[in-house]
């Protein structure tokens, strides 16, 4: 029917991302398909079933602004706090512990990758890594893809984790319950906005986000001014990546203004150039392959 055609177009047309935002926002919990029926039309499937998946996809893909975490990252921190993870534990074992104690319903390989990502500290990853990378957790060579197997690397809580997520705030958290088991809270309450410190990236249904990293010291300074009701300047907050030796410049000459990261290079001979820094998230191996094609 025409209604079915419209529903399918709404769900899958690449040019209707904004319409999908309204579609997901309009959905109300409990409005589901009658599962006693033997058949369901396309319109009901899209608007009562697919919309549930799409909403969940956004929740899993887009970090929460309060704590900067996606659900899997929040489960990892919950289990690290619950276990009081002060001593090294194999990433593979930690993933198993998380799956058991946080009602994690997805593959452990994906969970292991998220643990590794939260412990990475090379340029372009985390400004503040909440987990310790004990072993080969990846480098700028391949953007972290060169991390060792989860069976051979270890992690534990960084000491700063309980400074950012203070234990005294745990009583304020709204812990969830699933299948009779207490699991992670809806969100944590960090003392500084971690979503700005470590940035955020994600692509969900209808929505996507990309936030750069910022300097924790700049954020703290602005927070103190805000608390004291002093005037704030957005110019005071410029993207910053720990260890990056290039430059970050504001580019307002295009239709879509923003910041650009610039590497460094110098001519060392009539036919040679020495590159000493690459732009953020431009990985060494990828750049070598790019140069080899010139």
Number of domains in the chain: 2
Asked whether residue 9 is domain-assigned, the answer is yes
Q: Do 50 and 151 reside in the same domain of the chain?
A: no
Domain boundary among 146, 169, 197: 197
Closest by CA to 183, choosing from 73, 79, 83, is 79
Q: What is the pLDDT of residues 237-257, one digit of tens each?
A: 899 999 999 999 988 766 667
List phi, psi (to 5°) of 251.
Answer: -110, 105
Asked whether residue 56 is domain-assigned, the answer is yes
What's the burial of 84, exposed, middle or buried (CB within 10 Å: 0-12/13-18/19+)? exposed
Region 264-276: mean pLDDT is: 91
Distance of CA 69 to the CA centre of its chain: 6
Q: What residues are labeled active site?
A: 152
Query: Is residue 37 scored above 90 in pLDDT?
Result: no
Give the CB-side neighbour count of residue 104, counting CA atoms within 13 A: 27
Q: Do 90 and 26 reside in the same domain of the chain?
A: no
Domain boundary among 197, 214, 234: 197
Q: What is the pLDDT of residues 132-144, one digit of tens each?
A: 999 999 999 999 9
pLDDT score at 38: 84
Query: Is residue 30 scored above 80 in pLDDT?
Result: no
pLDDT score at 256: 65
pLDDT score at 201: 93
Provide the residue range defining the domain that includes 18: 2-61
CA dist 48 and 51 (Å) reads: 6
């Amino acid at each position: 029917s025409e209604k079915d055609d419209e529903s399918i177009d709404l769900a899958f047309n690449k040019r209707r991302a904004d319409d999908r935002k309204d579609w997901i926002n309009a959905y109300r919990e409990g409005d589901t398909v009658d599962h006693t029926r033997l058949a369901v039309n396309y319109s009901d499937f899209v608007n009562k079933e697919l919309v549930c998946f799409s909403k969940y996809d956004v929740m899993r893909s887009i970090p929460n602004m309060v704590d900067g975490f996606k659900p899997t990252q929040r489960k990892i921190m919950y289990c690290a706090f619950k276990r009081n993870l002060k001593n090294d534990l194999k990433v593979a074992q930690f993933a198993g512990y998380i799956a058991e104690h946080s009602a994690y319903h997805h593959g452990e390989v994906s969970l292991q990758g998220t643990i590794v990502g939260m412990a990475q500290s090379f340029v372009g990853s985390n400004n503040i890594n909440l987990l310790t990378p004990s072993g080969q957790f990846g480098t700028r060579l391949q953007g972290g893809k060169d991390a060792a197997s989860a069976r051979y690397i270890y992690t534990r809580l960084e000491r700063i984790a309980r400074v950012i997520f203070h234990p005294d705030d745990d009583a304020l958290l709204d812990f969830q319950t699933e299948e009779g088991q207490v699991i992670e809270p809806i969100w944590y309450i960090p003392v500084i906005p971690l979503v700005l410190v470590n940035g955020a990236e994600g692509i969900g249904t209808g929505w996507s986000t990309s936030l750069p990293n910022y300097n924790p010291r700049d954020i703290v300074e602005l927070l103190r001014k805000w608390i004291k009701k002093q005037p704030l300047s957005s110019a005071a907050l410029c993207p910053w990546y720990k260890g990056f030796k290039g430059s970050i410049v504001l580019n307002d000459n295009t239709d879509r203004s923003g910041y650009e990261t610039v590497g460094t290079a110098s001519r060392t001979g009539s036919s040679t150039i020495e590159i000493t820094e690459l732009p953020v998230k431009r990985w060494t191996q990828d750049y070598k392959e790019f140069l080899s094609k010139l």
